[in-house]
Amino acid sequence: MLKKPITALLFLWIFALVLTRVFGIIEDTLSPLCSFPGISQLCPQHAQVSPVPIRDEGNELLWADYPRLMAVERIAFESLLEETSDGPGLAIEIKKAEIATRDLATLVRVSDLTRRDLLADTLDEFTRDARKVGRGLQKFSSRVNGAIDNVLAVNDYCLRAIEAAQSTSETWSLDTIRTFLVGDAVSQRVVTETFTNAMGTLSANMQRLILDAEASILDLTMLEQQLANLQDIVAREDSSLSSAQSELLANLWTRLGGNRKVLHGFAENRALLWNLGSYRTRALAHVVGALQTLMRMSEDMQDLRERVAAPELVGDRIPVDVHIKSIRTSLERLQERRIIAKEHRVDTMKRIGS
């Protein structure tokens, strides 16, 4: 009694396998025709929305894990926004101190110090290094915001591509039989391709940010070395001025300028020179913190890349709806954090300008 039902089920199973293979061969063979106007309208939509994969590593990504990727992005970028929110304000403070240092170099040149030429030249070099530090801080903050904008744009594109592929695979069209047999294979393929694209974009932006952070740390370290050189020169000139580095320039300003009222902005310049060391220390802490965040992000990305480059287990399959929800949630949270960080920068700029 079971011979006929078993035979029928076996026939349908073999027929489904043959149809799946035939449809795959036909699609791969005729896919070049989709580039011609008019014919492209008859092609499945996923053939038009699939992005070109960006592989920053040699490993091919076999499946996607958007929930994990979005978690890495969200945690890292929220930390970066917090670390770099004071960057523009510190750059302005260092710029003000740079101008005050230039005024100090002018006073040194007309003073009666024995080593005035050497000290003035060192102050000029210190001014150039301070200018470089300020520009580096502004550049790094801009690069962080630009990287977040780029990643958000790619994530938004991936979300739209996956939603379009899912809606196409769920509609009844000329390939109804293929859709019934294959299930959500089309959506899963688009998910994997867009995931590869998102991973490549995030890795490229992360590498650029690491290079910028390391360059800023090098500039800040050079500025510290210049301050140590100034301390040595001043100590040889006048032992009474061999104070701590954070107070060196302010004390030198007081020694050369005194309390003469003819010196315009004496108190303000002295305060700027006094706090220059503090500005440098704070800026270094911000950049080092951002670099540590980027390095942790790099390790998380490497772990994720190795995981999705391995064959997918049956229990690891993530539904397409979960991918869509994770991308949409991450986009909303990062956009909210960017608005908060922007408001904080505006308040800082107003406080410095007042």
Residue 53 maps to a domain: no
Residue 42 maps to a domain: no
Residue 177 maps to a domain: yes
- Cα gap 272→283, rounded to integer Å: 15
Report in angstroms the alpha-carbon separations of 327 from 91, 138, 198, 213. Answer: 34, 30, 11, 28
Residue 13 maps to a domain: no
What is the domain-level CATH number for residue 142? 1.20.1170
E strands present in 217-341: none
- Cα gap 299→219, rounded to integer Å: 26
Residue 30 maps to a domain: no
Residue 279, pLDDT score: 84
How do residues 297-348 score in pLDDT, each as one tens digit? 888 888 888 888 877 654 456 788 888 888 999 888 888 888 888 887 777 7
Provide the number of structural domains found in the chain. 1
Q: Which residues of the chain have pLDDT under 70?
A: 20-59, 168-186, 238-246, 257-265, 312-317, 352-354
Residue 298 maps to a domain: yes
How do residues 275-291 score in pLDDT, each as one tens digit? 888 888 888 888 998 89
What is the domain range of residue 178? 63-353
Residue 12 maps to a domain: no
Residue 77 maps to a domain: yes
- Cα gap 195→67, rounded to integer Å: 11
- Cα gap 331→71, rounded to integer Å: 11
